[in-house]
Structure 1
Amino acid sequence: MTFSYPALFDFEPFAGRSEAFVALIRQFAAAHPFRSATVDELLLDDDYHRRPLRPEDFEFLKFMKPVRADNVSRLPSLASNRTLLSIYELEAARMPRSGEAADWQRFTEFYRDDVRTLGAQLTPFLEAYAFTYLSNASPAGESVAAASARLARIIDDESTFWDTTFARLMRNDYLEEGLRFIMVQRWALAPSKRRAVARAAANGYFDALPQDAWPTLEGDLPDDALLQRVAATCGVTRQQHAYWQFYLPTSMAKTNLLYALARRPDRAFALTGAVFAAEAEWLAFGLALERACAWLQPAGRRPGEAGARKAALVARFATALQTVADRYGDAAFEQCVSGAAAGERLAERGRWDLGEQLQWLGAIPQYCEFARRISKRIDVECPDIDRETFIEPHEMCSTTHVHNDHRLVTIQEGDMLFWGNVGMQLKMHQGDMVLIPDGRLHGSTVVSGECTYHQPIIPDDWVRALVAELDAKAPAAH
């Protein structure tokens, strides 16, 4: 008898049932810890028990078609991953900040039984919604050598990405600010990833392997001391999730994938593969950080040997794969490969998402100029466009969010602060405008008595032509 393992995630069983789950999502998001952010909550003051979910979005999000690889940066992905991360970490104990009644109130509200029960009901639906596109990432019949080579490919692809990214940040004079955003995505979420892996290890998920073949997200490369120094240099010094509003959907998805597999014992082999993929990504980041921030290396520490580290990781994964195949057969082997393939696919989508965000953030003056050119084109070619006008009062604050299309924000009257990164404050006054591309994380607050602004949708071909100008100005790679 041959056993064929089901897909890691499958939205098909939930087809036609979204409405009932959306009702539960609205109930969950209505809990006090998940209310939309106020103007003083751009950073969350080290409050682990506060997770703005932007509940108003759940009034129109339908959750009918699962996230696809080509829309991982859009609002359905952001909303589902924020919600999933909140649910998973209802199982993580973080003590109240003090003995004060207000801190205890926040502590107990976060862990309320009814909130946890709703979360448990929602989790399978949201996991299928957010991750079904990762389930078809591996071809059947891969050899141990081909499967373990995935890790080498992740390291190579990540290394190329980081070299290109750091070069662009330096070219745009955005290195410190760009590193700040990067550290929020990588360093601020590292404790959650490590917690998911540690919990799985404690629950026996890796017991099928010899201990020296286990995957890990803890080690000396990247060295935590270097990570802390880089984070401190960039101003990322608060406790975990203080930067909640600045997590990209793909950054949370990487964390959530580990949590999702770590809560399912029948996906233990998939978790093994996924953690190995995450380790490859983490190693590549560490090597890149050593190159980009060599002056911050702890005294006496030598740079990691990239080739040797990569070879050792690939060999360890090959050992794990062979052990799994020998002891538990093809189904276990294929599930392990599926986990690694899902991690590889998600790493690729994460590179794209982060790269697009950093390209936009590092070129905001150009995107303000693009906005003016688009505005003039609208006046000539489509003066009757729906300008989607909003009138908002003083201190009206939008929890960071993304749009599913390109938006041109133009201030008609009043003043607004606009941001897309920790510490960013783009001051916008009457007549100012900025182009926000599809899927770019941002937020704003009104600083005048009232602000009237327009936000028309811009055709994709208009934006692509302008962004191509940025690419054309970049020096050719050598």
Structure 2
Amino acid sequence: MLSGAELTAAILRYATNPIYLDNEEWVNEDNPYRRQLRPQVLPHLVFDTPLRRDQVFNYESLAAHRMLTSIYEADLVFLPKSELTPEKYRDFHSFYSPHNRSRGEVIRPALERFAFGFLDDEVSVSGDWDAESLETFLRDLDNRVTGAVLPAEKAIRESSDPQRAAKMWLIQFAPDFLSEASPMLRNLLGNIGSIQSEWFKIVIDEYGYGVHETKHSTLFERTLDSVGLKDDVHRYWQYYLPGSLLMNNYFHYLGKNHEMFFRYLGALFYTETTLVDFCARAAGLLNDVFDGAADVEYFTEHVHIDTHHGRMALEKLILPVVRRYGAVVIPEILRGYEEFHVIAEIADEDFVSQIAWMDAGPTNKSLHDPVYQSVAEGRVTAPVAHIVEPFGELSNTHSHQGDELCHIVTGTMKFVSGFDSHQILQAGEGTVIWRDRLHGAIIESDECVYEIHSVGDYKKCMS
């Protein structure tokens, strides 16, 4: 496994592919091969030591998961919805080229260790388990999750702009839902006995029994369209949060590494079972927020089929596997169950924090003056970067490990803190930037001169 300078060099060889360079627009318009990896920043990041639980929202995590998403998805086929123009055709070949795929595979093990290694400290499985005790534990899942409203759902309802928050929420699901069941298919090739046929029944459900209009990804496209979002793959790449990519990549991680086959079964059971209650609440939430205008069939369909899928995952996959292969596989099944539980909580926490950050845009702009005064008067000493950018310069979305202060010297900046969330900053104005929160900016004057002060904790600048 690569590390140190060798890993950095290999990452740069991968990420400097032209399809991964910064974008000049906020969205990727009907081009599933363009994924902004910000390669100019990667030489300054270290991916040798696995993240801790308290680091999974930082920029290194986001950067790693952006790369892993691109690496994993080179195994999948994506085509644009409209004409394959000469430019898109070049990007198509570039994304699926042997050079791109092989360079991705070289760095994948190290990035997986970095991005998922924290789970070793978060989850442990002990005790003596057999098929009976495993079945009892898993069947009790319904009692543990039914009716448990997620903090993300509460954050949407209580947001200053619930429709904006709900759209940001749907965007987080897009990496998974627009290519639904693709990670699952990684485990269905080969010869795995009778469970292969049973598992295929779940996949067939996901793909609408061969009817495109009822395929789950098609239903989700209709949901996006109904609330004013576009449905082309990775259009909203720059708005994905690290927690959301972590959740999507986890199933690719398990499916790509077949030594984790049994772990996948546990994670599959957790998600198929919890989706029933979640989708019922999601349909109600979207109906409320969009006054009945949202197409929620994607979610109502899951309420019906995932009740069936959860039972199938237990009775037709997990229990037959344990009976055939023995108790030796149970710890891995339980590990997958518990790991995805942890990951789901992380993704929820990340989204809640992002909505709070988006809602606080006007407040953070008003905090500029007292924080900047502390810096200007020398009461706070903070490293500062002086930046000059021309009209139209787009800072692709990123985050920082500490709080920062953006101060505009001359010109105008549109500061973006999430989908459809921004503040216009003029000369003498600015904003506080929260640590680990996704943001970007675009220059709206002929030139903009601004400063970024790395204040660490902005609240200490106001005491």
- The TM-score by the shorter chain falls in which range? 0.7 to 0.9
Q: Which amino acid in structure 1 is aligned with residue 425 of structure 2?
A: M
- Tell me what 1:178 maps to: 165
Q: Which amino acid in structure 2 is aligned with residue 133 of structure 1?
A: F
1:146 equivalent to 2:143? Answer no
Distance in 2 between the 1:302 and 1:345 partners? 23
Q: Which amino acid in structure 1 is aligned with residue 333 of structure 2?
A: C
- Tell me what 1:85 maps to: 69
CA contact (8 A) 1:391 1:452 kept: yes
- Tell me what 1:160 maps to: 150
What secondary structure does 2:407 align onto?
A: strand
What secondary structure does 2:421 align onto?
A: coil
Q: 1:405 to 1:378 in 2, by over 3 A?
A: same
Larger mean CA deviation between 310-319 and 384-393 belongs to 310-319
Report percent identity of matched pairs.
22
Q: 1:255 to 1:378 in 2, by over 3 A?
A: same
- Tell me what 1:76 maps to: 60
What secondary structure does 1:427 align onto?
A: strand
Distance in 1 between the 2:461 and 2:278 partners? 29
Q: Which amino acid in structure 2 is aligned with residue 24 of structure 1?
A: A
Q: Deviations over 1:394-451 (max 9, x none)?
A: 2222111111111111111111112122333422111222222111111111122221
What secondary structure does 2:206 align onto?
A: coil
| Shift, 1:202, TM fit | 4.5
Distance in 2 between the 1:391 and 1:302 partners? 47
Distance in 1 between the 2:427 and 2:62 partners? 31
Matches within 5 A, 1:92-103: 92-95=76-79, 98=83, 100-103=85-88
What secondary structure does 1:412 align onto?
A: strand
Q: Deviations over 1:364-386 (max 9, x none)?
A: 11222233333344455625433
Matches within 5 A, 1:40-79: 41-79=25-63
Q: Which amino acid in structure 1 is aligned with residue 50 of structure 2?
A: P
Q: 1:70 to 1:284 in 2, by over 3 A?
A: farther
| Structure 2: runs of 5 or more not aligned | 209-213
Q: 1:302 to 1:218 in 2, by over 3 A?
A: closer
- Tell me what 2:100 maps to: 115
- TM-score calculated relative to the size of structure 1: 0.82
Distance in 1 between the 2:260 and 2:37 partners? 28
Instruction: Give the superposed CA RMSD.
Output: 3.4
- Tell me what 2:282 maps to: 289
1:218 equivalent to 2:206? Answer yes
- Tell me what 1:195 maps to: 182
Distance in 2 between the 1:133 and 1:151 partners? 27
Matches within 5 A, 1:452-471: 452-460=449-457, 462=459
Q: Deviations over 1:88-124 (max 9, x none)?
A: 1112222465354333222212222111111111111
Q: 1:30 aligns with which of 16, 21, 25?
A: 16
1:335 equivalent to 2:332? Answer yes
CA contact (8 A) 2:152 2:351 kept: no
Q: Which amino acid in structure 2 is aligned with residue 413 of structure 1?
A: T
| Structure 1: runs of 5 or more not aligned | 1-12, 467-478
Q: 1:317 to 1:208 in 2, by over 3 A?
A: closer
- Tell me what 1:258 maps to: 251
Q: Deviations over 1:255-304 (max 9, x none)?
A: 11111111222221111222233334544442222221332476999978
- Tell me what 2:211 maps to: none
CA contact (8 A) 1:18 1:64 kept: yes
Matches within 5 A, 1:221-240: 227-228=220-221, 230-240=223-233
Q: Which amino acid in structure 2 is aligned with residue 218 of structure 1?
A: E
Q: 1:147 to 1:70 in 2, by over 3 A?
A: farther
Q: Which amino acid in structure 2 is aligned with residue 417 of structure 1?
A: K
CA contact (8 A) 2:371 2:462 kept: no
CA contact (8 A) 1:215 1:272 kept: no
CA contact (8 A) 1:138 1:337 kept: no
Matches within 5 A, 1:414-433: 414-433=411-430
Larger mean CA deviation between 348-357 and 422-431 belongs to 422-431
What secondary structure does 1:65 align onto?
A: coil
